[in-house]
Amino acid sequence: MAVYTDISEDDLTRFLADYEAGTLLSYKGIAEGVENSNFLLHTTKGAFILTLYEKRVDPNDLPFFLGLMHHLADHGLNCPLPLSRRDGELLGELSGRPAAMISFLEGMWLRKPAAKHCREVGRALADMHLAGHGFALTRKNALSVDGWRPLWDKSAGRADEVEPGLQDEIAEELDYLESHWPKTLPHGVIHADLFPDNVFFIGDQLSGLIDFYFACNDAFAYDVAICLNAWCFEKDGSFNMTKGMALLDGYEQVRPLNGAELRSLPLLARGAALRFFLTRLYDWLTTPPGALVVKKDPLEYLRKLRFHRQVKSAEEYGLVHR
Ligand SMILES: Nc1ncnc2c1ncn2[C@@H]1O[C@H](COP(=O)(O)OP(=O)(O)O)[C@@H](O)[C@H]1O
Ligand SMILES: N[C@@H](CCOP(=O)(O)O)C(=O)O
């Protein structure tokens, strides 16, 4: 459960008075998510999400995230919208944290996505990449190749506690990725965390994307690689090529990948697996027992990383030649 900061009814009522969002009827903490504290609010005007931005979010990035949601929605993407306060600001403060009221997106995330859902996700990811064109703000990806070594340095000394031999294996992997990482692929605004819990469906129909708090400017194909990792592996650790094919096909129906992007895909998928391995490893080693958040297993991403290391071409992910 991700509720790091508690709120009182009195403080919340005062906070809500700055919005035209009705009168508070009820609120409760949301038992999902990792980064921020989220609450579901019911007011006389409907349902809303209240997000308190926690320490890992740099407040300087908030205008990028909140502005991006408006930009994407204005360009046809289904995503939640931050509400403006009466003074026109998107951000307020609650319990000492920057806080925003976000519109409620109908739908649920899929615990067991099938290939048809992966196709929808591929399409929506490409839609997002196109919709991001022209967004005035930029944000460097703090969790791309340059960010991995500093993150690794924080965990390296204890990595062998998680699996013997890990320290050497990851050090070698980092060296390889740093010297081979592609720098000139088509780029723009990417989601960077489009996992199943950030994509809502109503039945089999994708209803929208949430959680833009890792969004940044980076290679579009890196975002595709993140989705291959997050959507196309089975619980037993095997890669499901039918899902990979559907995801890539859905993406390419909207935005075809060029030759350089396709050639880079195995390497990008390897890097994406390392990125999630590293953040999970750090959290695994540092989250205090009893914290109100569910820790995610870093070894899941180590297994994915090892799989990608053996992949030679995008065809092995299910790419069908056009
Ligand atoms: N706009 C929204 N509409 C409906 N539910 C939401 C919305 N935003 C967040 N949620 C709910 O809150 C949960 C956590 O949100 P998320 O943005 O993923 O948190 P975090 O940034 O902490 O990872 C989601 O899984 C979803 O259940
Ligand atoms: N998707 C990441 C963790 C970030 O969680 P989210 O709730 O913000 O999507 C992972 O699986 O490691």
Residue of 3, 4, 5, 30 with the most ligand 1 atoms within 8 Å of its CB, for mutation: 30
Residue nearest (by alpha carbon) to ligand 2 atom 4: 34
Which pair of tokens denotes residue 87? 């003074």
Residue 4 is assigned to a structural domain of this protein? no
Q: Which among 204, 188, 172, 196 is positioned nearest to 274, based on CA atoms?
A: 172
Q: How far apart are CA 215 and CA 211, in angstroms?
A: 9
The answer to whether residues 265 and 224 touch, using CB atoms and an 8 Å cutoff, is: yes
Q: Residue 24: pLDDT above 50?
A: yes
Q: What is the pLDDT of residue 20?
A: 96
Q: Are residues 132 and 265 in the same domain?
A: yes
Q: Which among 251, 255, 258 is positioned nearest to 227, based on CA atoms?
A: 251
Q: Are residues 44 and 140 in the same domain?
A: no
Q: Which conformational region is residue 190 in: left (phi greater than 0), alpha (psi within -120 to 50 degrees), or beta?
A: beta
CB-neighbour burial class of residue 320 (10 A; exposed 0-12, middle 13-18, buried 19+): exposed
Which pair of tokens denotes residue 305? 């990383």
Q: What is the pLDDT of residue 23?
A: 96
Tens digit of each residue's pLDDT (9 = 90 or more) over 109-166 = 999 999 999 999 999 999 999 999 999 999 999 999 999 999 999 999 999 999 999 9
Residue of 41, 202, 210 with the most ligand 1 atoms within 8 Å of its CB, for mutation: 210
Residue 28 is assigned to a structural domain of this protein? yes
Interface predicted TM-score (ipTM) of this complex, two decimals:
0.93
Q: Are residues 74 and 51 in the same domain?
A: yes
Averaged confidence pLDDT in the chain: 95
Domain's final residue, options 103, 134, 153: 103
Ligand 1 centroid from CA 239, angstroms: 27
CATH number, domain containing residue 141:
3.90.1200.10
Tens digit of each residue's pLDDT (9 = 90 or more) over 252-305 = 999 999 999 999 999 999 999 999 999 999 999 998 777 666 789 999 999 999
Q: Are residues 141 and 194 in the same domain?
A: yes
Q: Are residues 170 and 243 in the same domain?
A: yes
Q: Are residues 85 and 167 in the same domain?
A: no
Q: Residue 108: pLDDT above 60?
A: yes
Q: What is the pLDDT of residue 291?
A: 67
How far is the CA of 70 from the CAs of 85, 200, 223, in angstroms? 15, 18, 20
Give the pTM. 0.95
Residue 282 is assigned to a structural domain of this protein? yes
Q: Are residues 143 and 15 in the same domain?
A: no
Which pair of tokens denotes residue 65? 């995230």
With a 6 Å cutoff on the Cβ, whether 261 touches ligand 2 is no
Q: What is the pLDDT of residue 1?
A: 44
First to last CA, the chain: 44
pLDDT band at residue 231, thresholds of 50, 70 and 90?
A: very high
Give the three-class secondary structure for 198. helix
Q: Are residues 92 and 122 in the same domain?
A: no
Domain's final residue, options 103, 138, 159: 103
Treating both helix axes as pointing N-terminal to C-terminal, what angle do 241-254 and 115-131 enclose, rounded to 10 degrees?
A: 30
With a 6 Å cutoff on the Cβ, whether 104 touches ligand 1 is yes
Residue 3 is assigned to a structural domain of this protein? no
Tens digit of each residue's pLDDT (9 = 90 or more) over 45-66 = 999 999 999 988 999 999 999 9
Q: Are residues 33 and 178 in the same domain?
A: no
Q: Are residues 98 and 119 in the same domain?
A: no
Domain hosting 234: range is: 115-317
Residue written as token pair 């990811």? 125
Mean pLDDT of 215-219: 98
Domain's final residue, options 103, 134, 149: 103
Q: Are residues 238 and 258 in the same domain?
A: yes
Q: Are residues 66 and 187 in the same domain?
A: no
How far, in whole angstroms, is CA 212 from its chain's centroid? 7
Mean pLDDT of 232-237: 96
**Domains identified in the chain, total number:** 2
